[in-house]
Amino acid sequence: MKLEARHLDFGYRDRRVGSDVSLSVEAGQVLCLLGPNGSGKTTLFKTLLGLLPPQAGQVLIDGTDVRQKMRDEVARQVSYVPQAHAAFFPFTVREVVLMGRTAHLGVFSSPSRRDHEAAMAAIDRMQLGHLAESIYTRISGGERQLTLIARALAQEAALIVMDEPTANLDFGNQVRVLQHIQSLEASGIGVLLSTHDPDQAFLCADRVAMLHEGRLACLGAPQAIITAENLQRIYGVEVAVAKVELGSAGRHDVCVPLISRPQAPGAGD
């Protein structure tokens, strides 16, 4: 299973957001997309999912143009985790996850027992069992994000596209989402995600791509891409990338923004 963009120009009807983007993700890989606000990450994702028509170039799923596929065919291969949102009606968590089964149902069918089982399995995997009958609109932002990931799991696609899955989550929930991404990778699912935190790319990605002003600035292994120079070029702030020795936990790369802190008055007296 491979999702591929070839020389993709993308954007909305009257506005080009990005151009000439080529990248690919395969099952069992994690590709992390970094880029400042407004660099076109979400628009690129929507184009990759076939939700927006490309302005030029192609999106291929296993070599077939995404525009030639029916929506349910695409959904069986690639699932989408949008940014956690408010829903309009008070569906339960179980019902929301069950919606992930739609691509496996005939147009006139409703979920069968097998679909209910698949949804419950996805809920259990995200450790949401205690919330299954809770109202989706009343749970916390972190729980909603996990519910949307469970819905993508229930979809049983080989590839999951996650749009800033850690945005608006507290520290613990961010780490939990990263752990889930690792376990997805281990079970052979490919993940394409965007994030604002380069440290997260170090933690979970096989490869990192940087999107800058609608163009792919660089693409490669995390250590090669997340450098002080690249971060400065893209975000326009000074950053140091340091290695941290954690004993038994091994060595980790971390990004530290260089902020010159003004001396507090009276400090050192």
Partner 1 sequence: MSRVSLALLGALAVLVVLVAIAFSVGRYPIAAGDLATLLWAKLTGAGHGLDSTVETVILKIRGPRVLAAILIGAALSAAGAAYQNMFRNPLVSPDILGVSAGAAVGAVLGIFLSLNVIMIQSLAFAFGLGAVGLVYITANAVRGHDPLLVLVLAGVVVGSLLGASVALMKYLADPYNQLPAITFWLLGSLASANPEDVRSTLPLMLVGLVPMWLLRWRINLLSLDDEEARALGVETGRIRLTVIAAATLMTSAAVAISGVIGWIGLVIPHFARLLVGPDFSRLLPTSVLLGAAFLLGVDTLARTVARIEIPLGVLTAFVGTPLFLWQLATARRGWQ
Using the rule CB under 8 A, is 10 a contact of partner 1?
Answer: no
Between 108 and 171, name the residue whose CB sits nearer to partner 1.
Answer: 108
**Which of these segments, 33-41, 71-79, 120-128, 223-231, binds partner 1 (CB under 8 A)?**
71-79
Nearest approach, Cβ of residue 69 and partner 1 (Å): 11
Residue 190, strand partner residues: 159
Q: At how many degrees (to 10) do helices 171-186 and 141-154 cross?
A: 10
Q: Which of 51, 121, 221, 242 binds partner 1 (CB under 8 A)?
A: 51
Nearest approach, Cβ of residue 127 and partner 1 (Å): 23
Q: Which of 29, 92, 194, 195 binds partner 1 (CB under 8 A)?
A: 92
The identity of residue 16, as a single letter, is: R
Using the rule CB under 8 A, is 72 a contact of partner 1?
Answer: yes
**Which of these segments, 3-11, 81-89, 215-223, 243-251, binds partner 1 (CB under 8 A)?**
81-89
Using the rule CB under 8 A, is 198 a contact of partner 1?
Answer: no
Using the rule CB under 8 A, is 43 a contact of partner 1?
Answer: no
Q: Which of 30, 44, 66, 74 binds partner 1 (CB under 8 A)?
A: 74
Using the rule CB under 8 A, is 214 a contact of partner 1?
Answer: no
Between 12 and 232, name the residue whose CB sits nearer to partner 1.
Answer: 12
Q: Which of 47, 155, 173, 174 binds partner 1 (CB under 8 A)?
A: 155
The identity of residue 176, as a single letter, is: R
Using the rule CB under 8 A, is 100 a contact of partner 1?
Answer: yes
Using the rule CB under 8 A, is 14 a contact of partner 1?
Answer: yes
Q: How many residues bind to partner 1 according to rule CB under 8 A?
A: 39
Q: How far apart are CA 145 and CA 167, in angstroms?
A: 9
Residues lying near partner 1 in the complex (CB under 8 A) are found at: 12-14, 46, 49, 51, 70-76, 79-80, 82, 85-92, 95, 99-100, 102-103, 105, 107-111, 135, 137, 151, 155
